[in-house]
Amino acid sequence: MNELDSLVVAAQAEFSGARTPADLENAKALFLGKAGKITELMKGLAALPVDQKKTRGASINEAKQAIEVALVERRQALADAELAVQLKAEALDVSLPGRRVPTGGLHPVSLTLERIEGIFGSMGFEVAQGPEIETDWFNFTALNTPEDHPARSMHDTFYVKGGSSDAPLLLRTHTSPMQIRHAVQHVKRYRASLDADMGMPEIRVIAPGRTYRVDSDATHSPMFHQCEGLWIGEAVSFKDLKVVFTDFCRTFFESEDLVLRFRPSFFPFTEPSAEVDIQFQSGPLSGRWLEVAGSGQVHPNVVRNMGLDPEKYIGFAFGMGPDRLTMLRYGVNDLRLFFDGDLRFLSQFQ
Ligand code: DAH
């Protein structure tokens, strides 16, 4: 082995021995640096006669190139090793199942409200919303409820501060005040037409929302939901109530053979009044009569409080319980489950 070959072998050995990039750069300096062995040999060329210079120069260059190749290879090897260490340290176990971000969903009662709005919407009913803190005028008086009616007692109704003795404030006990609120707005909008004896478009509205009573057990909650319905026109009859409500119930429960019963009852704001019972012809509740709503023909005093002439305008109203409809639809037997906020229960409706 000539001197140049040994130099290449020595460089290769030195480079392989370098454990870090810094070691490698030091090793490089020994051979290729300013005072390195190759550089020294190049300088020695100057002293040679011209004819030897060429062959000697070519040989030194060859050795230099071999050393450079060894350097590049070692550099790459060190870089690869470093990357391998880093990859190992930062390794992700892609076989682990991902963490799912749970998606929310609508509350079962909200699902029912959406359904109710959809069905009545398809029958041409508007959807109205109103305040949960009401005056006793809208909640009781305008609805023909006498001063001494038991529903007005502190025992049944949550009164709130801020009202006056002649205008007490309360948490609405039903959605019926929306009959008056909505009708008054409607009448106001068509005042000019009414004054000119040209009539007005019919009032056809539902008003879903939260209601409150001093009541709490498996089937009553101090906060619950109601949905009011009102249809007023010049020739709206009890028959229309039966058609509309029957259609609603059959669509809501997806049961064409569902039977309805209008059972005579009493409400101050309707005359005549009826409780609406439904009966399934199949399924777990088959054959039982289940009460789902109060209803009736709107009392003339109430029509008057809407700003309309009861001799000319007539119609029906109903009030139903979306909570109860939800219980019946899904077979839930305790109302409180809806409001406990337990995800084990609520997530079953997603
Ligand atoms: N507001 C009544 C209640 O809470 C339900 C009701 C009955 C509403 C008859 C009506 C109706 O609109 O016509 O018990």
pLDDT in tens, 277-299: 999 999 999 999 999 999 999 99
Residue of the CA atom closest to atom 12 of ligand 1: 318
CA of 94 relative to ligand 1 center, distance in Å: 60
In this prediction, residue 204 carries a pLDDT of 98
List the 223-233 sheet strands across, edge first: 126-127, 203-212, 223-233, 314-320, 290-298, 270-279, 259-267
Binding site membership of 157 for ligand 1 (Cβ less than 6 Å): no
In this prediction, residue 65 carries a pLDDT of 93
Task: Show Cβ contacts of residue 270 under 8 Å, excluding neighbours closer than 6 positions.
Answer: 294, 295, 296, 297, 298, 299, 302, 316, 317
* Closest by CA position to 21, among listed 61, 77, 59: 77
Q: Which helix (H) or strand (E) holds 181?
A: helix 177-189
Tokens of 99: 């963490």
What is the phi-psi region of residue 172: left when phi exceeds 0, alpha when psi lies from -120 to 50, beta otherwise? beta
- The 8-class DSSP code of residue 313 comes to -
In this prediction, residue 1 carries a pLDDT of 73
CA of 51 relative to ligand 1 center, distance in Å: 121
What letter represents residue 130's amino acid? Answer: G
Beta bridge partners of residue 263, listed in sequence order: 275
Beta strands in 234-339 (DSSP E): 259-267, 270-279, 290-298, 314-320
| Mean pLDDT in consecutive groups of 10 residues from the start of the chain, 350 residues | 88 92 91 90 88 89 92 92 93 87 92 98 98 97 94 92 91 98 98 96 98 91 97 97 98 97 98 98 95 98 98 98 96 93 92
Contact 42, 6 (CB under 8 A): no
Contact 278, 249 (CB under 8 A): yes
Tokens of 141: 């008086």
Binding site membership of 145 for ligand 1 (Cβ less than 6 Å): no
In this prediction, residue 247 carries a pLDDT of 98
Distance between CA 211 and CA 206 in Å, rounded?
15
CA of 234 relative to ligand 1 center, distance in Å: 22
Binding site membership of 318 for ligand 1 (Cβ less than 6 Å): yes
Binding site membership of 319 for ligand 1 (Cβ less than 6 Å): yes
Distance between CA 143 and CA 274 in Å, rounded?
16
In this prediction, residue 308 carries a pLDDT of 97
Q: Which long-range contacts (CB under 8 A, 24 or more apart) does 20-24 make?
A: 20/78, 21/75, 21/78, 21/79, 24/71, 24/74, 24/75, 24/78
Tally of CB atoms within 10 A around 222: 13
CA of 104 relative to ligand 1 center, distance in Å: 33
Tally of CB atoms within 10 A around 240: 14
Distance between CA 209 and CA 127 in Å, rounded?
11
Task: Spell out a b/e string for 199-215, using b for 16 or more CB atoms within 10 Å of the CB, else e.
Answer: ebebbbbbbbbebbbee
- The 8-class DSSP code of residue 19 comes to -
CA of 328 relative to ligand 1 center, distance in Å: 19
